[in-house]
Amino acid sequence: MKQEILSTSDAVAARAAQIIASDARAAVAARGRFVMAVSGGRTPWQMLRALANEQLPWENVHVVQVDERIAPAGDKDRNLTHLRESLLSHAPIPENQIHAMPVEAADLDQACRSYSDLLNSLCGNPAVIDLVHLGLGPDGHTASLIPGDPVCEIRDAEVALTNPYQNRRRMTLTYPIIDRSRHVLWVVTGAEKAPMIPRLLAGDAGIPAGPVAQAHATLLADAPAAIQISTQ
């Protein structure tokens, strides 16, 4: 895994935006379309605001979700709420190219299958997402692959549901589709993440983040998060 350690979370967000923009231009030039999957979090919202200022072929950019809480439209817990505020309000991306996980559906199992079908329509079958952005929780979770949750064992579906976590069930991408992506971009900031980064880099299967494929991955971390690793 490539590693870049930057001084602050703002610097991480800015660098992440640069990497996404570079990947986007290359993907559109090669295949006519760029599809990125985005996770939630404060630094990612800064990243998306910075991305909105990049020169991109926005008409060929599609944004999908890595995970989403089962909550009503507009709820402050929804990643989509912040995604729209951070990107759609500032970048000239067509609204119908931001693809929300259908967490308001009555049949959530069918909703998972429908979102998988959408990914196949955008990214081929099996779906190969151009860039998957991931965060890292203080408990070692990533996406909504949560310690001890059966969702971490799913290998025959690309989108699945979790048990309740922090009072909400979630819809999440699973390992198979994350691992097939062309680029995994880890964006990790904050001292509370520091114990987990060495375990991530070691591929520690004791945390959900550990098994994610590293061959085409980049870690961006700020200095507080990276304090327990070597930059060499």
At residue 111, does pLDDT exceed 70?
yes
pLDDT (tens digit, 9 = 90+) per residue, 4-44?
999 999 999 999 999 999 999 999 999 999 999 999 888 99
- Residue 55 class from Cβ within 10 Å (0-12 exposed, 13-18 middle, 19+ buried)? exposed
Q: CB 30: neighbour CB atoms within 10 A?
A: 10
CA dist 210 → 4, 56, 90, 175, 198 (Å): 18, 32, 34, 11, 10
What's the CATH number for 2-222? 3.40.50.1360
* pLDDT of the residue at 187: 98
Structure tokens at 100: 């929300």
How many helices, marked H, and strands, marked E, lie in the chain? 6, 10
Check whether 232 has a pLDDT greater than 60.
no
Taking only the tens place, the pLDDT of each residue in 124-141 is 999 999 999 999 999 999
User: In this model, does residue 164 exceed pLDDT 60?
Assistant: yes
Tell me which of 115 and 89 has the higher pLDDT: 115
| pLDDT at position 42 | 86
pLDDT at residue 100 above 70? yes
Average pLDDT, the chain: 95
Q: Give the per-residue pLDDT at 230.
A: 61
Give the least confident one: 41-45, 67-71, 142-146. Answer: 41-45
Amino acid type, 205: A
Whether the Cβ atoms of residue 130 and residue 23 lie closer than 8 Å to each other: yes
- The mean pLDDT of 67-78, rounded to a whole number, is 92
pLDDT higher than threshold 50 for residue 67: yes
Confidence grade of residue 88 (pLDDT, cut at 50, 70, 90):
confident
Q: Is the pLDDT of residue 231 over 80?
A: no
Q: For 191, list phi and psi in degrees, rounded to 5.
A: -65, -25
Confidence of residue 76 (pLDDT cuts 50, 70, 90): confident
**What value does the mean pLDDT take over residues 77-100?**
91
Cβ–Cβ < 8 Å for 169, 161: yes
Determine what percent of the chain is predicted with pLDDT higher than 90.
Answer: 89
Instruction: Give the separation between CA 218 and CA 58, rounded to whole angstroms.
Output: 23
CB atoms within 10 A of CB 110: 11
Q: What angle do CA 109, 110, 113 make, to 5 degrees?
A: 95
How much is the average pLDDT of 135-163? 97
